[in-house]
Amino acid sequence: MHEKASMHDKEVSRFLSRVLRHKPELIGIVLDEQGYTDIETLINNACEFGKHFDYAQLLAVVANNDKQRFQLSDDGTQIRAVQGHSHPSVKRHYEPQTPPNVLYHGTAVKSLDSIKQHGLTAQSRHYVHLSADSDTATKVGARHGKAVVLTIDTATMHAEGHVFYQAENGVWLTESVAVGYIDFGSH
């Protein structure tokens, strides 16, 4: 009998992002309102779906993820994506925070026309994601094509009543950013 080949850590991370943020039904798991699901069920269902990893590898992926995308429950029996959810069952509660005066949003050049017209919208996700530094925003934008970094006047937004949250991994979240708060630079 042949043993099933385990996935590489990057593959496990991508797979977890997909099922814990967007498509839990893909492998028949359920996310609670805070985004948590049972780890044992996740691993078993993933295996049935042809995605093979064990608890030790899952822990390594959580601990070593450079963006700290995942979080375990205090008792170590559940896991969730920290932010980035689009699934309607997840209604994460974040405490409102005072943002720094400026935050950044990385996007692709091809998205600029739409952003100049409509501002930044959450689209399929629950929130717009903002970065505390332009380097991180550049990396985010580069995932979708040639990167552009937009500067967001969060001091004015916050003063005018817009609410900001910060996920456990440092990503800043807000519902939308109107065009007037965005500095497009020379783009």
Is 112 part of a structural domain of the chain?
yes
Q: What is the DSSP string of 27-43?
A: TT----TTS-EEHHHHH
Same structural domain, 116 and 176: yes
Is 89 part of a structural domain of the chain?
no
Same structural domain, 76 and 115: no
How far apart, in whole angstroms, are the C-alpha atoms of residue 60 and residue 184? 39
Domain final residue, candidates 18, 50, 81: 81
Same structural domain, 68 and 111: no
Q: What is the pLDDT along the chain (187 residues), one digit of tens a residue?
A: 444 667 899 999 999 999 999 999 999 999 999 999 999 999 999 999 999 999 999 999 999 988 889 999 999 999 999 988 889 999 888 999 999 999 999 999 999 999 999 999 998 888 999 999 999 999 988 988 899 999 999 999 999 999 999 999 899 999 999 999 999 987 5
Is 97 part of a structural domain of the chain?
no
Q: Which residues of 93-111 are buried (b: 16+ CB within 10 A; e: fewer)?
A: eeeeeebeeebbbbbeeee
pLDDT at 181: 98
pLDDT at 6: 74
Same structural domain, 74 and 22: yes
How many independent structural domains does the chain possess?
Answer: 2
Name, in order, each residue with C-beta under 8 angstroms of 43's C-beta and a sequence gap of 6 or more: 53, 54, 55, 58
Same structural domain, 109 and 172: yes
pLDDT at 2: 42
pLDDT at 187: 59
Same structural domain, 107 and 59: no
The domain that holds 65 is classified in CATH as 1.10.10.970
Would you put residue 116 in left (φ > 0), alpha (ψ -120 to 50) or beta?
A: alpha
pLDDT at 4: 62
Same structural domain, 112 and 178: yes
Same structural domain, 109 and 77: no
pLDDT at 72: 96
Is 90 part of a structural domain of the chain?
no
Domain final residue, candidates 52, 81, 110: 81
The domain that holds 165 is classified in CATH as 3.20.170.30
Is 95 part of a structural domain of the chain?
no
pLDDT at 84: 87
Domain final residue, candidates 17, 49, 81: 81
* Distance between start and end Cα atoms, the chain: 58
pLDDT at 1: 41
State which residues form the domain around 108: 102-183
Same structural domain, 118 and 58: no
Confirm if 81 and 70 have CB atoms less than 8 A apart.
yes
